[in-house]
């Protein structure tokens, strides 16, 4: 009498796709959503664009209209505008830190437990 | 003005080398500052990703060094015109003046970028361990950045002299 073979419907360990680290198995979708919130990315992009556009743009806008061709004052204004962007960035970074302290207290504690 | 001992044919070469010096040296400084502090941010970001936003300040400051060089390059480039009717109207005095403009903003930018790079690298690593370092780090970075600003001020003053 032949013994009945056990036919398992489940995949064996060898047949399963592995999830290695953060890279998912072959038939699953990988998580490509950024770890940082979109608002932070938009803030960084805005500051990058401002750093490129604002100083040199303010130079070309004001050199003929406001300063009547005196390019020295317009150049000084461009340097000042670059520093204004920097100070704005420092304040934005400080505000980011404080909002995280107030809002993310519980999350921070949970994260510590994981580690 | 005719071609003379005061406005020789090679005078624009010296003025244009001022533009190149301003851009090249300033960008060397800005690149060093960005790269060195970027290494520090890469080290901090793996342990404390929430600090990255505040650690990016040295990178932004290095960008400002490059903006200073850019402003001076644009200013010098506006004073340079092609010689009209084959005669050079660009005096040797203006040439050396523009060279000194470019060198002053370029080499102070190099110094400031070097300072920002080293302070940014060590500063963000210390900030990861002790959050009180932040105010001191930003102050040191501002004083390093001001070195480039002094070069810009001198270059702007020199540039007004060449107009008269």
Q: Best mutation site among A61, A70, A89, A94 for testing chain B: the one with the most B CBs within 10 Å?
A: A89
CB contact under 8 A, A56 and B71: yes
Average pLDDT, chain B: 89
Residue pointed to by tokens 């592995």: A18
C-alpha to C-alpha distances, B31 to A2, A12, A73, B98, nearest whole angstrom? 77, 54, 27, 24
A54 close contact with B: CB closer than 8 A: no
Q: Model's pTM, two decimal places?
A: 0.76
Is the pLDDT at B103 greater than 90? The verdict is yes
CB contact under 8 A, B60 and A85: yes
pLDDT tens-digit profile of B66-92?
A: 999 999 999 899 888 887 766 667 888
A87 close contact with B: CB closer than 8 A: no
* Chain A residues 3-32 with CB within 8 Å of chain B: none
A-chain residues within 8 Å CB-CB of B74?
56, 59, 75
CB contact under 8 A, A79 and B149: yes
CB contact under 8 A, A35 and B156: no
Predicted confidence at residue A101, as pLDDT, reads: 62
CB contact under 8 A, B75 and A72: yes
CB contact under 8 A, B159 and A51: no
Q: Which residue from B49, B54, B64 is facing A82, i.e. has the nearest CB?
A: B64
CB A81 within 8 A of CB A61: no
C-alpha to C-alpha distances, B2 to B13, B85, B92, nearest whole angstrom? 18, 10, 13
pLDDT band at B8 (very low <50, low <70, confident <90, very high): confident
Q: Which residue from A44, A55, A100 is facing B50, i.e. has the nearest CB?
A: A100
User: What is the average pLDDT across B52-57?
Assistant: 88
CB B152 within 8 A of CB B71: yes
User: Nearest-CA distance from A34 to chain B in Å?
Assistant: 13
CA B5 to chain centroid:
33
pLDDT tens-digit profile of A43-76?
A: 888 988 988 889 889 888 888 888 887 888 888 8
User: Nearest-CA distance from B96 to chain A in Å?
Assistant: 18
Residue pointed to by tokens 């300063």: A67
């Amino acid at each position: 009498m032949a013994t009945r073979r056990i036919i398992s419907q489940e995949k064996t360990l060898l047949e399963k796709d592995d999830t290695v680290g953060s890279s998912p198995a072959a038939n699953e979708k990988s998580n490509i959503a950024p770890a940082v919130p979109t608002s932070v990315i938009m803030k960084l992009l805005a500051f990058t664009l401002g750093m490129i556009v604002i100083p040199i743009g303010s130079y070309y806008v004001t050199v003929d209209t406001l300063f009547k061709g005196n390019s020295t004052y317009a150049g000084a204004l461009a340097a000042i505008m670059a520093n204004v962007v920097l100070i704005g960035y420092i304040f934005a970074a400080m505000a980011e830190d404080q909002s995280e302290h107030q809002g993310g207290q519980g999350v921070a504690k949970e994260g510590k437990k994981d580690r | 003005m005719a071609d003379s001992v005061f406005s020789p044919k090679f005078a624009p070469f010296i003025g244009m080398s001022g533009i190149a010096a301003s851009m090249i040296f300033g960008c060397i400084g800005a690149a060093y500052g960005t790269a060195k502090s970027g290494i520090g941010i890469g080290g901090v970001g793996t342990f404390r990703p929430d600090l990255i936003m505040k650690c990016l300040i040295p990178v932004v400051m290095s960008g400002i060094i490059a903006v200073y060089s850019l402003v001076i390059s644009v200013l010098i480039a506006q004073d340079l015109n092609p010689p009209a009717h084959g005669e050079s109207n660009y005096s040797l005095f203006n040439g050396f003046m523009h060279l000194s403009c470019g060198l002053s903003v370029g080499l102070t930018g190099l110094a400031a970028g070097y300072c920002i790079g080293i302070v940014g690298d060590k500063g963000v690593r210390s900030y990861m361990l002790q959050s009180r370092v932040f105010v001191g780090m930003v102050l040191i970075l501002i004083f390093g950045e001001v070195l480039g600003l002094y070069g810009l001020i001198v270059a702007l003053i020199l540039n007004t002299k060449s107009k008269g």
